[in-house]
Homo-oligomer: A and B are copies of this chain.
Amino acid sequence: MTVRVLLADDEHLIRGALAALLALEDDLVVVAEAATGPEALAMARAHRPDVAVLDLQMPGADGVTVATSIRDELPSCRTMIVTSHGRPGHLKRALAAGVRGFLPKTVSAQRLAELIRTVHAGNRYVDPELAAEAIAAGDSPLTAREAEVLECAADGAPVAEIARRTSLSPGTVRNYLSSAAAKLGAENRHTAVRLARSKGWV
Contacts and interface: CB of A to CB of B under 8 A. Distances in A.
Interface of A: 10-14, 16-18, 20-21, 35, 82, 84, 104-110, 112, 155-158, 186-194
A145 to B, nearest CB: 21
Given A13-B109, A20-B21, 8 more contacts: A13-B18, A14-B14, A14-B105, A17-B18, A17-B109, A155-B191, A156-B192, A158-B188
A23 to B, nearest CB: 11
A190 B17 CA distance: 39
Nearest to A12: B106
B109 A11 contact: no
A142 to B, nearest CB: 17
**Oligomeric state, in copies:** 2
A82 to B, nearest CB: 7
B18 A82 contact: no
A11 B105 contact: yes
Contacts of A107: 12-13
A143 to B, nearest CB: 22
A156 B191 contact: yes
27 contacts: A10-B106, A11-B14, A11-B104, A13-B82, A13-B105, A13-B106, A13-B108, A13-B109, A14-B17, A16-B109, A17-B17, A17-B20, A17-B21, A20-B20, A20-B109, A35-B106, A155-B190, A155-B191, A156-B186, A156-B188, A156-B189, A156-B190, A156-B192, A156-B193, A156-B194, A158-B187, A190-B190
A116 to B, nearest CB: 13
B156 A108 contact: no
Contact of A84 (B11, B106, B194): B11
A197 to B, nearest CB: 11
A47 B13 CA distance: 25
Contacts of A112: 13
